[in-house]
Chains A and B, each alone.
Chain A
């Protein structure tokens, strides 16, 4: 037995052939036959209005129309962490684009035409479009019934206001901390809303058969959560978990936008109105922008004090989140940010207020980074500025204060093992930090920026994973799990974990996409947790299968199991080198005895994982006492940025990003997360943002007007750096890295712009136009 064979290896993706050959099927590619119906939705044109009347008569009479439904047909609410959302709007609409009614017809064009014929009469209400307005004393209430909504025990809604949740952290004595500081810096940072822009739009097909069973095919990161929320929302129709099946084939990108339930509830409900028929609802690109989750905007007021020697003495962070019309998922983004808004620093005196505020904009929700990208913009801008004021090198300032294993987290628990210091050092070296670079072009100047990052999975304390594993006759393996392959390489990594235990190459292991009837439970594919959590379940399942193989060999051949091991698809023995028993000789057939009888039988394994040490319960006024986060992944990033001093145009010369993967099960996949996450993050700071008009309408719901990066918009050089300080409870020491790579992009650009021009920009995005105007203002 030598070292690891498959864990840590650059195995090619096991889904690679499917994806480049056209074989990979996404929901919209599945065939449902000539009986397939198509749905179209009637959307609110107003950000806030009462629904006075809905006239569906003309639509219902149109040719090809099979059903027309409104909120009267489905007076049901749903929600992941708080039940504040409606399947169809009831008495009022709360954002432009909210679903008011729907048509099911024989083809998409007929459905669309009939939807346009539905007449809705509205009584407009004042639209609350920003957090300032929403928190004013005389603010109009967006959810008058907020006080009655069911919610998880770690939310603290304030009925009679627009505050849906308020996460407080109080640790130490901030006042005393600021008193002992030599420098105290205070400023406000603003971050707008952003769109995920997965290239595959949301799509759902749902069918309730004549026996009453509801099957839903959805482009989702969360098949089990979807089944759970469908069962809850549609329980008045008599549907239970037993009746509902969610199937998710390949998903064309998620980034959080396909977590939880958004438009899929419409498909599930419509299927019950056209029993027997499959019905498809596919969002257009425009709907993809305005009626799925958006990344929430935030106004962050930050105050940090430090001593002359660089020690941070206190931090106060007030985050006011524009959470949108429904916060059933987004309030947990607010919660997660509130728990961790110190960033990866050792700070003894902390006050954090992370406030979830309803507005009449589309619902906020999870987006890669889950609140951390948003607060890191201000925090990491601030850290560089504080270092500058103290006359300390910004990287050295971060080294002085970087959190280490055993340090006390904002909520009182201890920090996990972390390679943060190594990440800082290697990133700084990769961008030659401390060496000024001169541009050869006199019109441009080169600046460098640096930022740290951390993030923990935001999960309920009982979020868990499970895996089934079976051997086939030829010694190949099928694994069923319910994590989702959203591009990150999850299927491949699960195969590598099983491969390592069972001595079977990943190319002989299929890992199947979810089907809630057949694949075991997974909470969701979010939070960068599936490598760690589901990886542990697969590790357990593979271990069980291995133990069963050894037991068969013991019973049939008499070997001591403690001397057996698996390698090269064979059972081998440390004591008897001659034993080279191919797995294919026993994993389904069993082993033959001399008397003609057989021992064993098909080898299967199952495994589960739940982090039993977590708890979301804590003192609501201080946040102390619980253990809400399982662990943090940390890292550092640096940028070399060329800024045109006339136009503000920026060119990214180089980015280095180091992330502590614990153990990189597949370094190629980790690097893929780095190059992809860096570009997605750079886009949020250099050009993307959602623009709304003063009626709450999104002005740029297309790729023409909401530009995402093309192959011509990438940095000249991206240097991915993998740090590996193992996570003790991770599979082979692994922890997640998927979201983290986009978190430091915005502040490192802000810091580099400052380094190049001396100008500090405190609002995102930092476009060429904004930089040019700032330079113009500074020169006059």
Chain B
């Protein structure tokens, strides 16, 4: 007798206990987006290069395009939607204040990478911020505005490099 069984995955998604079924070869990214309707993890390369599918698995960043959905069983998943329930986190607010992102496609992944960093290292250096987001590609910003905002949100004092003394002057 041929039997096809879908796997039952018990997980906590953004704080909510969740039971979801998936095929053995379904990746977590697709299950989050399609079965659960959580759209902030993006499909950018489907091979772990770009980081736009980043989610937190038990508080650690993973590329959800490289994680099988069944691997999330008995684990906790956090996406940007579930980062904070009472408003945005300090680093998100700083990203807004400093207009850190441009197109914003990479933003959910970078917000999570920054959240993980600040959780582990409350007062990171610029190099530590760069290292933490090095797996998240951004084609728009040149990264400086992102690094600066993470440092500012973490109260790490002076910013990375680019805030100019000469800008905004008129002729």
Are B104 and A721 within 8 A (Cβ)? no
What's the least CB distance linking B149 to chain A, in Å? 10
A-B pairs with CB below 8 Å: how many?
203
Q: Is A366 an interface residue (CB 8 A)?
A: no
Complex CA distance for A722 and B167, rounded to whole angstroms: 6
Q: How large is the interface on B (under 10, 10 to 19, 20 to 34, 35 or more residues)?
A: 35 or more
Q: Is A48 an interface residue (CB 8 A)?
A: no
What's the least CB distance linking A496 to chain B, in Å? 12
Pick the most buried of A20, A26, A724: most chain B CB atoms within 10 A of its CB.
A20
Stretch in B1-9, B56-64, B67-75, B134-142 with 4+ CB within 8 Å of A: B134-142
Q: A16-B97, A253-B140, A676-B142 are in contact. List 19 more A-B contacts (CB 8 A).
A: A12-B96, A15-B104, A21-B88, A21-B92, A22-B80, A196-B139, A200-B103, A253-B139, A672-B140, A675-B143, A702-B49, A703-B49, A704-B49, A708-B137, A710-B135, A719-B162, A724-B170, A724-B171, A725-B171
Stretch in A116-124, A172-180, A482-490 with 4+ CB within 8 Å of B: A482-490
What's the least CB distance linking B82 to chain A, in Å? 9
Are A12 and B37 within 8 A (Cβ)? no
Q: Is A252 an interface residue (CB 8 A)?
A: yes
Within 8 Å by CB of A251, from B98, B103, B133, lies B103
Are A487 and B104 within 8 A (Cβ)? yes
Complex CA distance for A10 and B99, rounded to whole angstroms: 9
7 pairs of A and B residues whose beta carbons are closest in the complex:
A252-B105, A487-B102, A19-B104, A487-B103, A22-B40, A675-B142, A703-B49
Within 8 Å by CB of A20, from B88, B141, B147, B170, lies B88
- Kindly identify, within residues 671 to 698 of chain A, every residue whose CB is under 8 Å from any CB belonging to chain B: 671-672, 675-680
Chain A residues within 8 Å of B108, by CB:
22
Chain A residues within 8 Å of B137, by CB:
199, 703, 708, 710
- Kindly identify, within residues 105 to 159 of chain A, every residue whose CB is under 8 Å from any CB belonging to chain B: none
What's the least CB distance linking A748 to chain B, in Å? 16
B110-129 vs A, CB cutoff 8 Å, 1 = contact: the mask equals 01000000000000000001
- Kindly identify, within residues 702 to 717 of chain A, every residue whose CB is under 8 Å from any CB belonging to chain B: 702-704, 708-712, 714-717
B positions within 8 Å CB-CB of A: 33, 37, 39-40, 42-47, 49-50, 52, 79-81, 88, 92, 95-108, 111, 129-131, 133-147, 161-162, 164, 166-171
Complex CA distance for A676 and B141, rounded to whole angstroms: 4
Name the prevailing secondary structure of the A interface residues. loop
Q: How large is the interface on A (under 10, 10 to 19, 20 to 34, 35 or more residues)?
A: 35 or more
Complex CA distance for A13 and B92, rounded to whole angstroms: 13
A positions within 8 Å CB-CB of B: 8, 10, 12-13, 15-22, 24-26, 28-29, 31, 196-201, 250-255, 282, 284-285, 419, 422, 426, 430, 485-489, 492, 664, 667-669, 671-672, 675-680, 702-704, 708-712, 714-725
Complex CA distance for A714 and B45, rounded to whole angstroms: 22
Are A667 and B168 within 8 A (Cβ)? yes
Within 8 Å by CB of B168, from A198, A664, A714, lies A664
